[in-house]
């Protein structure tokens, strides 16, 4: 097709390499980086020296990957920091400031149950890619990142509330902090969920964007048993408008059990938001009326609280898939291999239902209950991604919904984009 954008994977010897993933996978105006462990690429081993040394190595690896395709740290629009002890975020912050002395991206901090290679920290980045991917780049030009802050949501010197680039806004994960007091709200998980979503809504109001422009929601919850309460509140925010209610639109969604969250919170929510106006210097005719296209197929599990895939501009955002057989609505029988196969089969069914293929994937996020299962996961994974092109994240969690052993979500390129709305 004439408007085809190529998925462009890159690798450098100056950062750790893995057979199952590219260090970065660029598509259109973003480059997705694989989550970086504190591995010294010269030795292939974790660096010594504790969490600060590990954080510094993780950021150095990111810096090396960016340098390999002509980018710098200030091109990053979102940083996600995974730690195994939430108290270590303070040490990570000391290192973070040396890599981001002025501009700070949107950010998420979360403690998880385990990280590969028994690391204490893992850092992942999403990068602006102004020139786009060949052959659709020349007319795009260098786009501008736009940061925004509002007094109606919590402020943090180490993160921007929202960073817009091209046709997306990336929102810093919102804790249930009352911006008037700077403290976590009281009242339990329902009150905390409401406050987190109110904060997101306030940030979007600050840039004149409605809540229903969210294409992907990630919910970090300390106890999966709280999800019924979270969902009760969530359903009062989505759908948010009459138009969205008419079509029953809800964003794609992933639920992750966190080992811990900052400030003792029970829940934290992050969002990826469509930005129809784009960022300068996009031409006027290129930046108005881009349609959000939500889609479900009966060939994968259907959930009333999430859409299987939400396309906007040049990306498809897929909801996390559990190893549920869509015919029975139950977990498949067997162990980790059978569950991994079912999860990836569900993802394949979803992406094929919108006329795309697995080769269009740019990022895959894997959550497993036991990191020792990753050899078995990789064996199955290679059958779906034989080239290892997508960037990848792997984290260990203590529990998954439906008592599953594995959960995977993904982002796919959408070469044809989504069309302007016809008048």
pLDDT (average), residues 48-63: 98
- What domains appear along the chain, each with residue ranges and CATH number? 143-288 (3.30.1330.40)
Q: How far is CA 256 from CA 58, 86, 130, 269, 316, in A?
A: 22, 16, 31, 10, 20
The whole-angstrom separation of Cα 343 and Cα 129 is: 30
- Residue 194: the pLDDT is 98
Give the phi and the psi of residue 272 in degrees, each rounded to 5.
-115, 130
Whether residue 166 has pLDDT greater than 80: yes
Mean pLDDT computed over every residue of the chain: 94
- Residue 134: the pLDDT is 61
Q: Residue 69 has which token pair?
A: 């395709």
- Residue 1: the pLDDT is 34
pLDDT (average), residues 233-245: 93
- Residue 154: the pLDDT is 98
- Residue 139: the pLDDT is 45
Whether the Cβ atoms of residue 308 and residue 252 lie closer than 8 Å to each other: yes
**Percent of the residues in the chain that have a pLDDT greater than 90, as a whole number:** 87
Q: How confident is the model at residue 3 (pLDDT cuts 50, 70, 90)?
A: low
Q: Residue 291 has which token pair?
A: 């349609």
Give the phi and the psi of residue 10 in degrees, each rounded to 5.
-135, 150
The whole-angstrom separation of Cα 256 and Cα 250 is: 18
Task: Annotate the chain with three-state secondary structure.
Answer: CCCCCCCEEECCCCCCCECCECCEEEECCEEEECCECCEECCCCEECCCHHHHHHHHHHHHHHHHHHHCCCCHHHEEEEEEEECCHHHHHHHHHHHHHHCCCCCCEEEEEECCECHHHCCEEEEEEEECCCCCCCCCCCCCCCCCEEECCCCCCCECCECCEEEECCEEEEEEECCEECCCCEECCCHHHHHHHHHHHHHHHHHHCCCCCHHHEEEEEEEECCHHHHHHHHHHHHHHCCCCHHHHHHCCCCEEEEEECCECHHHCCEEEEEEEECCCCCCCCCHHHCCCECCEEECCCCCCCECCECCEEEECCEEEEEEECCEECCCCEECCCCHHHHHHHHHHHHHHHHHCCCCCHHHEEEEEEEECCHHHHHHHHHHHHHHCCCCCCEEEEEECCCCHHHCCEEEEEEEECCCCCCECCC
Residue/partner pairs of 326-329 with CB below 8 Å, 24 or more apart: 326/298, 326/299, 326/300, 326/301, 326/302, 329/301
Whether residue 397 has pLDDT greater than 60: yes
Q: Residue 208 has which token pair?
A: 């004149």
Could you identify the residue written with the tokens 């990836």?
344
Q: How confident is the model at residue 423 (pLDDT cuts 50, 70, 90)?
A: very low
- Residue 192: the pLDDT is 98
CB atoms within 10 A of CB 411: 26
Q: The pTM is what?
A: 0.96
| pLDDT, tens digit (0-9, with 9 covering 90-100), for 329-361 | 999 999 999 999 999 999 999 999 999 999 999
Whether the Cβ atoms of residue 350 and residue 309 lie closer than 8 Å to each other: yes
């Amino acid at each position: 097709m004439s408007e085809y954008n190529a998925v462009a994977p890159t690798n450098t010897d100056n950062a750790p390499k893995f057979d199952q993933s590219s260090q970065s996978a660029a598509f259109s105006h973003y480059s997705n980086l694989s989550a970086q462990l504190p591995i010294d690429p010269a030795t292939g081993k974790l660096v010594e020296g504790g969490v600060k040394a590990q954080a510094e190595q993780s950021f150095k690896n990111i810096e090396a990957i960016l340098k390999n395709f002509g980018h710098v740290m200030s091109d990053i629009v979102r940083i996600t920091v995974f730690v195994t002890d939430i108290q270590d975020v303070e040490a990570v912050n000391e290192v973070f400031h040396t890599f981001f002395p002025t501009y700070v991206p949107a950010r998420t901090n979360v403690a998880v149950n385990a990280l590969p290679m028994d690391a204490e920290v893992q850092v992942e980045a999403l990068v602006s890619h102004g020139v786009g991917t060949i052959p659709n780049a020349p007319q795009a030009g260098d786009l501008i990142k736009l940061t925004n802050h509002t007094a109606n949501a919590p402020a943090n010197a180490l993160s921007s509330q929202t960073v817009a680039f091209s046709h997306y806004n990336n929102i810093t994960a919102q804790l249930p902090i009352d911006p008037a007091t700077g403290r976590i709200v009281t009242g339990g998980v329902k009150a905390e969920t409401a406050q987190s979503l109110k904060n997101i809504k306030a940030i979007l109001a600050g840039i004149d964007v409605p809540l229903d422009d969210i294409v992907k929601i990630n919910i970090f919850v300390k106890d999966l048993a709280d999800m019924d309460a979270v969902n009760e509140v969530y359903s009062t925010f989505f759908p948010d408008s009459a138009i969205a209610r008419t079509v029953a639109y809800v964003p794609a969604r992933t639920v992750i059990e966190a080992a811990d969250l900052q400030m003792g919170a029970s829940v934290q929510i992050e969002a990826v938001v469509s930005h129809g106006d784009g960022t300068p210097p996009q031409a006027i005719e290129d930046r108005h009326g881009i349609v959000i296209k939500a889609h479900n197929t009966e060939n994968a599990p259907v959930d009333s609280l999430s859409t299987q895939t939400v396309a906007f501009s040049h990306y498809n955002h897929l909801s996390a898939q559990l190893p549920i057989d869509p015919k029975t609505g139950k977990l498949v029988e067997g162990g980790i291999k059978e569950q991994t196969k079912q999860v990836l089969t569900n993802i394949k069914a979803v992406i094929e239902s919108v006329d795309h293929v697995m080769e269009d994937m740019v990022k895959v996020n894997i959550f497993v209950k036991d990191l020792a299962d990753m050899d078995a996961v990789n064996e199955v994974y290679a059958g779906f991604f034989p080239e290892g092109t997508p960037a990848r994240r792997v984290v260990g969690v203590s529990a998954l919904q439906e008592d599953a052993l594995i959960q995977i979500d993904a982002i796919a390129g959408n070469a044809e984009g989504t069309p302007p709305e016809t008048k």
